[in-house]
A and B are shown apart, each in its own frame.
Chain A
């Protein structure tokens, strides 16, 4: 272990634990998922950064939305995000979740993911290289250190507004509200 980090470990062991054990849920939307297999396997080896893919949302705390989000995929994205235990971090991968990207005038693709879900960070690019995932992960570490990766807190506080937006675009949602402040 790095000797300089001992102080940090002693001051806030919880944060350090969260930082170095990111269990990622790679949500296979769109074309971005093609970058993920080389990222998690031998070529780029995401486990160097403590990022490991897990099977279900209930074991994950990092959510990568890779690529465009159509209306039909928005529904499982919301459901998976709500199933994840806190603290959870949401990262949009590629330019399509940011502002629609090349689907900016599509009739069936949502344009801004952060209108429906609290997002902690973005990786811009079409497509981002696997290295960009690691840049994002190291940036997420600093955000966690400073307490700025607070997407899950924002989601809980403003759940009413998020739920309103979700119902506006998807119609009636078939699952009950996650928090009681609706």
Chain B
């Protein structure tokens, strides 16, 4: 456990009162916060040197009926201890009509990540410049990365429902 993580944790806990911060591993600081305090926390981390958003990820906790969005931050710095740090900012939102404020005005590279989460988990990011599909070609009733999306049933219905051309031709000739 290093001093950088400790001092950052104390700084965070003293400036925000509704968050939990914990050093979960060597060089890893996990911050749990509510969905409306994500922007201030990220702003604080950005101004204290952690200015690289590495990834926005999401976990579907289907039993708790919650989606957990994880922002992973790094720092570009010459300070080796600080450069090794991974900051995880976690927030939980409801699974029905999940909404979050966009962070594109703090980290510009969040734009494709938010589009990805929008199409794979169905999270709506308020204030995002263009929430258009990123990877997927088809429309899905349930976003495909949610736990209640049944991939096998979907494959049975869509891909296996398409006949082979030889079968089709044979059927048409018979009738």
Contacts and interface: CB of A to CB of B under 8 A. Distances in A.
A169 B165 contact: no
A142 B100 CA distance: 61
Contacts of B136: 71, 108
B137 A170 contact: yes
A114 interface: yes
B152 A105 contact: yes
Contacts of B158: 169
Nearest to B135: A72
B140 interface: yes
Contacts of B160: 111
A169 B138 CA distance: 8
B174 interface: no
Contacts of A154: 165
Contacts of B137: 71-72, 75, 108, 170-171
A158 interface: yes
B154 interface: yes
Interface in B124-152: 135-138, 140, 144, 149, 151-152
Given A71-B137, A170-B137, A171-B138, A106 B151 contact: yes
Nearest to A103: B155
B18 to A, nearest CB: 38
A108 B155 CA distance: 9
Interface string A88-126: 000000000000100011111011101100100000000
A114 B159 contact: no
Contact of A169 (B144, B149, B154, B162): B162
Interface stretch (A9-17, A30-38, A50-58, A160-168): A160-168
A171 B158 CA distance: 12
B155 A115 contact: no
B63 interface: no
B169 interface: yes
B165 A106 contact: no
B155 A161 contact: no
B165 A108 contact: no
A115 B144 contact: no
Given A72-B135, A72-B137, A105-B152, A111 B165 contact: no
5 contacts: A72-B135, A107-B151, A108-B136, A114-B165, A169-B158
Interface of A: 71-72, 75, 100, 104-108, 110-112, 114-115, 118, 154, 158, 161-162, 164-165, 168-171
Given A107-B140, A165-B162, A170-B137, 14 more contacts: A71-B138, A72-B135, A75-B137, A106-B151, A110-B159, A112-B164, A114-B164, A115-B165, A118-B165, A154-B165, A158-B165, A158-B169, A161-B168, A169-B162
- Which 3 pairs between the two chains have the least Cβ-Cβ distance? A71-B137, A107-B144, A161-B165
